[in-house]
Amino acid sequence: MVNVTLLIDDSDIDLFIQRRFLEVYHFSRTLISYKSADDALSWLGSLTNGFPDVIFLDLNMPKTDGFAFLEKFSGLPETMTAKSKIIILTSSNSKADVERAMVNKNVVHFITKPIKQSDIEELKAKFTSL
């Protein structure tokens, strides 16, 4: 089980489903969610320590999309961001999106919505081994 997980998605329904899956399958002790990348970045920028262990990030969001979030996140101090592993959780199944996202050093996994039990189990195994 990871300590802190951040969910970033503009859809209330998707956030509800993600939160429910993560709770039911005991993925994280603490779940924090934001409906906009900008709000999530503001929160992250206010932290002096304790960045989330895992960030689930949607790519397709208004105003600041997931790719813009990744660029801005990379601009934060590496001493803070190094421990955060980003999982792209998006409706996009574009090979170009997968390739573009996976270039970011913090992105460790790409999931096409909807999230499934097998995704959670795979991630739990992955983070247990890190």
Check which CATH number belongs to the domain holding 111 and give it. 3.40.50.2300
Is pLDDT of 5 > 90?
Answer: yes
* Amino acid 87: pLDDT: 98
- 10 Å CB burial of residue 36 (0-12, 13-18, 19+) is middle
Q: What is the pLDDT of residues 104-115, one digit of tens each?
A: 999 999 999 999
* Amino acid 46: pLDDT: 94
Is pLDDT of 121 > 80?
Answer: yes
Q: What is the pLDDT of residues 28-72, one digit of tens each?
A: 999 999 999 999 999 999 998 889 999 999 999 999 999 999 999
pLDDT category, 130, cuts 50, 70, 90? low
What does pTM read for this prediction? 0.95
DSSP string, 58-118: -S--SSS-HHHHHHHHHTS-HHHHTT-EEEEEES---HHHHHHHHTSTTEEEEEESSP-HH
Residue 68, domain extent: 2-128
Domain count, the chain: 1
